[in-house]
Structure 1
Amino acid sequence: MSKLKTIGLDADDTLWHNEQFFRLTQQRFAELLNDHADQQALIDRLEAAERRNLGHYGFGVKGFVLSMIETAVEVGGDQVPASVINELLESGREMLRHPIELLPGVAETVAELAESHALVLITKGDLLDQERKLAQSGLGEMFRAVEIVSDKTPDIYARAFAGFDGGVEGAMMVGNSLKSDVLPALEAGAWGVHVPHELTWSFEAATPPVDHDRFHVVPGLPDLAPLVQRLS
């Protein structure tokens, strides 16, 4: 079996907090429109709009804001004042300027891993927003390459790891999403490591591939080091 040479890391909710800001803004959206529908109905319709619009807007804050505005118009029609639309837009701007909050132990763990392995950041989302978050994180210099992609597929992982020693078979992808970080990486031939996060968007849910010999789970990113040592 190939030795581990390269480690791919997801960004949002693997290195730093992200989903919690979507949840807070989602709650704000429901409060602004509570005259038109009950809270859970509004949240359900917003999530349906997000899923429907992924092919148009992709992942990230901008698509989320457009889906909020679309849902607001759907449920309220002409009764939704311009002030509410402006509030939703401002909510998006707040998300885009919110300072980065690293998850516990991330800075130390990334620095340790970078001493022995090639690190690649592979993340979905808005290009400018992800570049901003990486710059604020202070982790940028630890990565040999940064891939900001529209989606995560086996081909994306094969391409991202192809230029590194050992190729995809000598690579590991680590992240909080089974659907995006683990399953397509395994299909490409890499190791897939799930780092569960208490808040994960339902779209990213999937069945853990427990019988796959390259699938692993660690409680948090600081727990990754022993697994990396064993596979290297």
Structure 2
Amino acid sequence: MVQKLKTIGFDADDTLWHNERFFQLTQERFADLLKDHAEKDHLEERLLEAEKRNVGHYGFGVKGFVLSMIETAIEVTDERVPASVIKELLKAGQDMLDHPMELLPHARDAVEAVAGSHHLVLITKGDLLHQERKLAQSGLGELFDGIEIVSDKQPQTYARIFGDTPGGTEGAMMVGNSMKSDVVPAIEAGAWGVHVPFHIVWGLEHADAPDAARYRELEHLGQLQALVEELG
């Protein structure tokens, strides 16, 4: 017997509020600063390689991104990158951290619609202080029964979090824009996985949709309440 849906987990970045577009804008700035040293496509490849290497050291978020840009700048200039460029990259990271939080369409209504009937948990990864700041600015914090800022999202992450919520893992649903981090591992843990696509996807977050009975996809968060009611 399938456990009745009692807990809903929400991703934050690019599910409830904008995030990846600020990384894209900063990456454009990065390419412009180093245009005399590397072609844009080559630079993007080198940066993604650096991010992949460094995520285990620095985690996810702006700080790791900035350090990866600096490392890439050193590499593509054969260690001759001007201090002025490093200064600009540090400033770009500070601008990202200071940028006002902006909710995505339907985000507030979707969370409010299920807050009264289900146990809600925000499950996000990234810089601790930055995520806490964005949550405070969002005005959504009081709607959640739990906040989990994690270093990564693996099946065991969801098993641990949902295992301590009403209904357990089988009675839980994870809603997010990342197939790799939000959907697939949640389903592997035994929960429902709901994909709400965002038009920009970070290179390290690509994954194929799972062939699973507990997988669902929505066009936008405005459709979430109907799905929750359908699943009971």
TM-score by length of 1: 0.98
Q: How does 1:84-123 map to 2 (within 5 A)?
A: 84-123=85-124
- 4+ residue segments displaced more than 2 Å: none
- The answer to whether structure 1 residue 206 and structure 2 residue 218 are counterparts is no
Instruction: Report the counterpart of residue 215 of structure 1 in structure 2.
Output: 215
Instruction: Report the counterpart of residue 230 of structure 2 in structure 1.
Output: 230
- Does the CA-based 8 Å contact 2:174-2:193 persist in structure 1? yes
Instruction: Report the counterpart of residue 31 of structure 1 in structure 2.
Output: 32
The count of corresponding residues between Structure 1 and Structure 2 is 231
Percent sequence identity over matched residues?
A: 65
Gaps of 5+ in 1: none
Q: How does 1:33-182 map to 2 (within 5 A)?
A: 33-182=34-183
Partner of 1:79, secondary structure, is: coil
The superposition leaves residues 5-53 of structure 1 with CA deviations (integer Å, 9 ceiling, x where unpaired) of 0000000000000000000000100100011111111111111101111
Post-superposition offset of 1:133? 0.5
Give RMSD over aligned pairs: 0.8
The superposition leaves residues 152-205 of structure 1 with CA deviations (integer Å, 9 ceiling, x where unpaired) of 011110111122211010000000011100111001100000000000112111
What is the distance in 2 between the residues matched to 1:61 and 1:165?
Answer: 33
The superposition leaves residues 82-127 of structure 1 with CA deviations (integer Å, 9 ceiling, x where unpaired) of 1110000000000001000100111111111101111100001010
What is the distance in 2 between the residues matched to 1:42 and 1:69?
Answer: 12
Partner of 2:170, secondary structure, is: helix
Partner of 1:168, secondary structure, is: coil
Post-superposition offset of 1:77? 3.1
Gaps of 5+ in 2: none
Q: Which amino acid aligns with 2:231?
A: L
Q: Which amino acid aligns with 1:29?
A: F
Q: Which amino acid aligns with 1:222?
A: G
- The answer to whether structure 1 residue 188 and structure 2 residue 198 are counterparts is no
TM-score by length of 2: 0.98
- Does the CA-based 8 Å contact 2:20-2:200 persist in structure 1? yes
Q: Which segment is superposed worse, 76-85 or 114-123?
A: 76-85
Post-superposition offset of 1:79? 2.8
What is the distance in 2 between the residues matched to 1:109 and 1:184?
Answer: 23
Q: Which amino acid aligns with 2:195?
A: H
Post-superposition offset of 1:78? 4.1
What is the distance in 2 between the residues matched to 1:165 and 1:122?
Answer: 16
Q: How does 1:15-26 map to 2 (within 5 A)?
A: 15-26=16-27
What is the distance in 1 between the residues matched to 2:146 and 2:101?
Answer: 20
Q: Which amino acid aligns with 2:115?
A: A
Partner of 2:148, secondary structure, is: strand
- Does the CA-based 8 Å contact 2:48-2:203 persist in structure 1? no
